[in-house]
Structure 1
Amino acid sequence: METNIQTTATRTVERSARRSRSSVPLFLAAWVLLIGGGVIGTVWYTGQVKAKLTQDISVQTAQQITAMQQNYDKQLKEMQTRFTGELTTVQGKVDALNELLQFTKDNANSKTDNSNKLFSQLNEVKKELAALQKSLDVLK
Structure 2
Amino acid sequence: MQPSMKSPDAYPSRAATRNGSSVKWFLLFWLIVIAAGGYAVYSYTNHLKDQMLLQLAAQNRQQLAAVQADYEKKLSVLSEEVNDLQDKVQSFNELLTFTKDNASTKTDNSNKLYTQLSEVRKQLDALQKEMDLLK
Which structure carries more relative contact order (alpha carbon 8 Å, separation 6+)? 2
Does residue 98 in structure 1 map to residue 98 in structure 2? no
SS of the residue corresponding to residue 10 of structure 2 reads: helix
Does residue 80 in structure 1 map to residue 68 in structure 2? yes
If the length of structure 1 is used for normalisation, what is the TM-score?
A: 0.63
Residues 16-69 of structure 1, C-alpha deviations (whole Å, 9 max, x = no match): x455533x3534322321221122112211121112112211211111001000
Once superposed, what is the RMSD of the aligned Cα atoms?
2.4
% same residue = 9
2:99 counterpart (91, 101, 112):
112
Larger-gyration structure (1/2): 1
Q: Which residue of 2 aligns with 1:3?
A: none
Q: Which residue of 2 aligns with 1:35?
A: 23
Q: Which residue of 2 aligns with 1:66?
A: 54
Structure 2: give runs of 5+ residues left out of the alignment.
108-135
- Give the Cα–Cα distance (whole angstroms) in 2 for the partners of residues 115 and 31 of structure 1: 123
Residues 97-132 of structure 1, C-alpha deviations (whole Å, 9 max, x = no match): 1111111111111x2246667xx8xxxxxxxxxxxx
If the length of structure 2 is used for normalisation, what is the TM-score?
A: 0.66
- Give the Cα–Cα distance (whole angstroms) in 2 for the partners of residues 14 and 74 of structure 1: 91
Structure 1: give runs of 5+ residues left out of the alignment.
1-9, 121-140
- Looking at secondary structure, tell me which structure has more helix per residue: 1
- Give the Cα–Cα distance (whole angstroms) in 2 for the partners of residues 65 and 14 of structure 1: 78
Say how many residue pairs are matched.
Answer: 105
Amino acid in structure 1 at the alignment position of 2:35:
G
